[in-house]
Structure 1
Amino acid sequence: MTTQQRNILVVAHARREETIAAALRVIGALTAAGARPVLPGDDPEIVAALAEIAPLVTLGVDVDVADIELAIVLGGDGTILRAAELVRDGTAPILGINMGHVGFLAEIEADVIDDAMRRVIDRDYEVEERMALSVRVKDAPGSVIYETWALNEATVEKAARERMMEVIIEIDGRPLSSFGCDGIVIATPTGSTAYNFSAGGPVIWPTVEAIAVVPLSAHALFARPLVVGPEASVAIEVLARTDGTGILWCDGRRSHDLPPGARVVVRRSRRSVRLARLHPAPFTDRLVRKFQLPVTGWRGPDTTPARENP
């Protein structure tokens, strides 16, 4: 009887010595447990740095993404977003180990790697499904010219700093408002603590399925952040009178130029992103910890017996 090979993808930010050291610990633990570490084939620097410890294989060359059990990510949120791209066509959940600053998507900090690896080997973790976005760009005649997806946000921005872009927002096939602006952020609950947060948008709990729409520096009386339902269709059209072009960014990683008349349509993706969780905890605690929010003076939860609503 043969045992199925366990393939664990290891994605690391190769340009920091402490990250390389942590990745070596992860690979060593996986190898000792009989699992096979897999490295991204598009990063020769990290392959060269880590190949000294064990015979390693690469994703897309030696191992198909469909055969990846789990992706372990060492880095910040940007590295986790890269890992989400790598496993997009598979089902592997992502376990983030924070080697950056905030690391909001990361599950654990680097000082508990050894315990985390024991949990990984035992498959002792839960999987949390996170909503993603499907993004299409249409030209002025209405033909689809670009398709992609986003975990955090899709952003329509002006391409030239000195120019403003003119847009019209449409929700579920109905026009909402038209104005000049620097751009529009369309974010998931996961992305609500990223660009959306910096732009003044609302923080949305991951258990709330919704889409945030946040104008950037809009010249309009009504240009407030919006929260729409998860099945809503949000369209941003770059009006033909715009002086110059715009640009679409998805998760800050994938971009496409938007000529005047282009239309960006954003909907919920049929495929979610899966995050591995070792320590399920209230999202409130994560906000407090990651943003170092002041909670001095809190007296604890109300222990008074709940009364029935009238």
Structure 2
Amino acid sequence: MSKRSVLVVTHTGRPEAVRSAQLVIERLSEAGICVRVLDGEAAAIGATGVDVMPSNAAAAEDAEVVMVLGGDGTLLRAADLTRSAGTPLLGVNLGHVGFLAEAERDDLAATVDRVVTRRYDVEERMTVDVTARLNGTVMGATWALNEASIEKAERERMLEVVAEIDGRPLSNWGCDGVVCATPTGSTAYAFSAGGPVVWPEVEAMLVVPISAHSLFARPLVVSPRSLVAVEVLPGTPRAVLWCDGRRTLDLPPGVRVEVRRGAEPVRLARLHLTPFTDRLVTKFGLPVTGWRGRVRQPAYPSPPLEDSQVSDAPPIGGEASGDQRG
């Protein structure tokens, strides 16, 4: 039987994350689980008795789970390592909103215990594959968990683009950019650009123009089977492609960016089957004062009325009997 192993990915720029990583490593090691850390983080963590792994996909191969200590940015970085390996990510939020994280800093010890006892579920999140072409030649190909955004590279000038859905032109936009997002990314950049929140189990893609000068510039929700393309028109300023705010590619005028459903999802470990609505309320601090919810049946319902009581009662919405009239 092969030895159990867990990869720990840490935001080493935060002292709290480093201390958390040391605690996680200690507790996992005490449970007999082999702990891996990335070569670029090992010195900052300073732990002994760990396996130092190269910062590539091999780091997550055959690991049970990847524990991510930081914010959503750290989790997106870890997703680069785990997507091809299929290893689930378990985020512990040490950042701000932490929408992708499953646990908070106060739950760290309990989270490690859940990993040790394998008490977590795994869900798959849709990704997008992104290809940039110039005159039919592929300039670059990448992917995103949250979003791919085509943005202007020069602040003083608008970006002129034309959007295409499933091989048909949709609209020209003079804009600051276009965000193509997944449901997971609907609470990230697309949300800030005015896009809708989409529940994670909904399979769809979002197309959200950024500050567009157009009568038709509403956010769009399209089929997950659709091919979305954004063409940067000739004569327009140069643009830049950003994927998850991490991977970038300069885009010359005339380039075509194609976005489609990703071939490989990202797997997230879940400790709680919390409704997404509750997650929205908690993360965004939404006011729900006055909510009563569905009226539940009392534990001891009143006995049914007898026939004589039913016959004596006035009809609902009807007139009372003669002797009851005023």
TM-score range, shorter chain: over 0.9
Give distance in 1, aligned partners of 2:26 and 2:102.
20
What's the counterpart of residue 307 of structure 1? none
Q: 2:108 aligns with which of 109, 113, 124?
A: 113
Give distance in 2, aligned partners of 1:291 and 1:237.
34
Secondary structure of 1:68's counterpart equals coil
Task: Determine if contact 2:204/2:224 at 8 Å carries over to the other structure.
Answer: yes
TM-score scaled to structure 2, two decimals?
A: 0.88
Task: Determine if contact 1:57/1:63 at 8 Å carries over to the other structure.
Answer: no
Give distance in 2, aligned partners of 1:121 and 1:63.
22
Match for 1:167: what amino acid? V
Task: Determine if contact 1:12/1:75 at 8 Å carries over to the other structure.
Answer: yes
Give distance in 1, aligned partners of 2:220 and 2:55.
40
Question: Where do 1:213-252 residues align within 5 Å?
Answer: 213-242=207-236, 244-252=237-245
Q: 2:257 aligns with which of 251, 264, 283?
A: 264
Give distance in 1, aligned partners of 2:18 and 2:83.
24
Runs of 5+ consecutive residues of structure 1 not aligned to the other structure: 305-310
Task: Determine if contact 2:90/2:101 at 8 Å carries over to the other structure.
Answer: yes
| CA deviation string 1:200-244 (max 9, x = no partner) | 0000000111111000011111111000011111000000121x2
| CA deviation string 1:105-124 (max 9, x = no partner) | 00010111111111101111
Bigger CA drift: 50-59 or 96-105?
50-59
Secondary structure of 2:20's counterpart equals helix
What's the counterpart of residue 21 of structure 1? 19
TM-score scaled to structure 1, two decimals?
A: 0.93
Task: Determine if contact 1:24/1:53 at 8 Å carries over to the other structure.
Answer: no
**Number of residue pairs matched by the alignment:** 298
Runs of 5+ consecutive residues of structure 2 not aligned to the other structure: 298-326
Change (3 A) 1:61 1:251: closer
- State the structure with more CA Rg: 2
What's the counterpart of residue 188 of structure 2? 194
Q: 1:54 aligns with which of 49, 53, 59?
A: 49
Give distance in 2, aligned partners of 1:154 and 1:60.
23
| CA deviation string 1:75-106 (max 9, x = no partner) | 00000000001112201000000000110100
Q: 1:295 aligns with which of 288, 298, 310?
A: 288
Match for 2:8: what amino acid? V
Secondary structure of 2:263's counterpart equals coil
CA root-mean-square deviation: 1.7
Task: Determine if contact 2:70/2:94 at 8 Å carries over to the other structure.
Answer: yes
What's the counterpart of residue 274 of structure 2? 281
CA-CA distance at 1:150 after TM superposition: 0.1
Bigger CA drift: 146-155 or 292-301?
292-301
CA-CA distance at 1:65 after TM superposition: 3.1
